[in-house]
Amino acid sequence: MRVLVTGASGFLGRAVAAEIAAAGHEVRTFQRRPSGVPGVTDLLGSVTVPAEARLAVAGMDAVVHLAAKVSLAGSPADFVAVNVGGTRSLLAEATDAGASRFVFVSSPSVAHAGASIVGSDADPADPARARGPYARTKAEAELLALAADSARLRVVAVRPHLVWGPGDTQLVARIVERARAGRLPLLGHGAALIDTTYIDNAASAIAAALEQADAVHGNSYVITNGEPRPVAELLAGMCRAAGVPAPAWRVPAGVARGAGALIEAAWAVRPGVDEPPMTRFLAEQLSTAHWFDQRRTRTELRWTPAVSLDEGFRRLAASYDR
C-alpha cells in the first residue's frame, strides 16, 4: 500500500511513519520540516495549501493524517486554519486522488466537556462543548472526516490519549523541565486516575486502524495503554525516569483552574513568547479522572498495546541515561 503520513516530523507522526514503513508499506510523509524517518520519502509543504496537499496525495492508496496545531495556547484562527481547514482540504484531495483509506488522528478531548471520564468509550465529537481551541477544532475536523466516510474512501478516527515516551518534546519534556525548575505543581491530591499511551502503542494502534479500515470505517476509537494510574504516580514516574525530583507542592484544583484562566488571559496580551505554564485546559486535565473502556478498541482494531506502563518508564529512563 502507498501511504501518506502527514505531520511526520512530530513525536507521534515520526513513530507512525516508521511503524507503517516497517510493515512493508511505501510511505510518503508531508509536513513543513524533514521527518528524519529512515526509509520514507519526505514531501515538504503545508496541508493548508490545497495545491501542496493535492501533490501530496497524488498516487496514494491511503492517508494517515496527523498534522495539526497541538499547542495548549495560541490564536484561535490558527487552530481553525490548520486543524479544520487542513483536514477539509486533505479529505477533498484524497477523494479526488482516489485514495481508499483515511485514518484521522484525533484526541479524546474532542468529546470531553470537562467532567471526569471514568471508563467510558469514545463518545461522539462535540465541538460545542469541547474545551479550548485545540479540542474544539479537532472535534470539528473529526466530524468532517467521519462525514466524508464512504464506500470509496473509508475513514477511521483514532484518539490516542496523552502519548508519551522517549523523545517526546511535548508532555514528558515539559513536565521534566518544570519539575527540574521546581515549577511543577501537583493539582489537588494527585489521585485522579489518568490513562496514557506509550508512544509505540499509539503508533501500532494507528497502524492497526489503517489495516482494519475496511472493517471499522466510520467509527472513532480511543487509544490508551488501558492502565490508568493516579496522576501523581504518573508524573513521579516520568520525573524518576528523567532523574529529577517529583512534584512536591500542591495546588488545590479549583485554585489552579482560576489561576490558569488568569494566566491564559495575561498571555493573550503578549502572544508568541512561550506557552503559558498553566491553562485551564491543563488544570482540568490533571485534576479530573480520564480513563476509558478499551474493549471495543481492542476487539475491533484487533490490537493490544505491546508496551506496558512500567516497561515504558524503563525505556524512558534508559533514554535519559544515554
Partner 1 sequence: MNLGPAPVSYRLPRAAATPAPATLPPAGLPGMDAAFSRLVPVVSGASGHPVTRTWHLLDNGDRLAELGVTPVGTVLCVHGNPTWSYLWREFVTAATDAAANGGEAWRVIAVDQLEMGYSERSGARRPLAMRVRDLGELTDTLGLSGPVVTFGHDWGGSISLGWALDHPELLAGVMLLNTAVHQPEDAPVPAPLRLALRSSVLGRGTVATPAFLETTLALAHPPLPTAVKQAYRAPYRGAARRGGIGAFVADIPVPDAHESAAELARISGGIRDLVVPALMLWGPTDPIFSDRYLDDLLDRLPHADVHRFEGAGHLVMEDVDYAAAALTWLGDRGLPADASAGGVPVPVESARSAGHSRPERAHSGARGEGEGEGEGEGGWAAAGQYPLWHYLDELQNSDETALIDMAPPGGGAPRVVSWRLLSRRVRQLACGLDRLGVRKGDRVSLLIPPGADLTAVLYACVRIGAIVVVADAGLGLRGLTRAVRGARPDHVIGAAPGLLAARALDWPGQKISVARFPRAAMRALDISATLAELIALGVDEELPPPPEPGDTAAVLFTSGSTGPAKGVVYTHGQLAAVSHALYAQYGVGRGTGLVAGFAPFALLGPALGARSVTPDMDVTKPKTLTAASVAAAVAAIDATVVFLSPAALANVVTTADSLTAADHASLAGVECFLSAGAPVSEPLLAAAARLMPAASAHTPYGMTEGLLMADITLDGIREALATRPLTDPTSALSSVGSAVASSTPTDVPAGPGGVCVGRATATTRIRTSALDARGRATGELSEVAGVTGEIVVSAPHVEDHYDRLWLTDRAARRGAVPGERWHRTGDVGHLDTAGRLWVEGRLPHVITTAAGVLTPVGPEQRVESVAAVARAAVVGIGPAGTQQVVVVVETVTPARRVALADPELAAAVRAAAGLPLAAVLVVPHLPTDIRHNSKIDRTRLGRWAGGILSGARMTRP
Q: Which residues bind partner 1 (CB under 8 A)?
A: 116, 118-120, 188-193, 225-230, 232-233, 236, 240, 253, 287-289, 291, 293-295, 298-299, 304-308, 311
Under DSSP, the state recorded for 277 is S
Helix (H, G, I), strand (E, B) or coil at 250: strand
Which CB atom, from 41 or from 299, has the smaller least distance to partner 1? Answer: 299
Half-sphere exposure of 4 (CA within 13 A, CB side): 32
Compute the chain's Rg from CA coordinates. 19
Which CB atom, from 96 or from 311, has the smaller least distance to partner 1? Answer: 311
Q: At closest approach, how far in Å is the CB of 230 from partner 1?
A: 5
Sign of CA dihedral 174, 179, 185, 187: positive
Which CB atom, from 191 or from 268, has the smaller least distance to partner 1? Answer: 191
Q: At closest approach, how far in Å is the CB of 287 from partner 1?
A: 5
Q: How far apart are CA 271 and CA 28, in angstroms?
A: 34
Q: How far apart are CA 308 and CA 8, in angstroms?
A: 24
Q: At closest approach, how far in Å is the CB of 1 from partner 1?
A: 25
Which CB atom, from 86 or from 226, has the smaller least distance to partner 1? Answer: 226
Q: At closest approach, how far in Å is the CB of 189 from partner 1?
A: 5
Which CB atom, from 5 or from 175, has the smaller least distance to partner 1? Answer: 175
* Phi, psi dihedral angles at 149 (to 5 degrees): -65, 135
Selected catalytic residue, list 134, 198, 221, 320: 134
Cβ burial of 79 (10 Å; 0-12, 13-18, 19+) is buried
- Strand 2-6 and strand 62-65: the pairing is parallel
Q: At closest approach, how far in Å is the CB of 117 from partner 1?
A: 9
Q: Is 320 a catalytic residue?
A: no
Helix (H, G, I), strand (E, B) or coil at 167: coil
Which residues are part of the catalytic machinery? 134
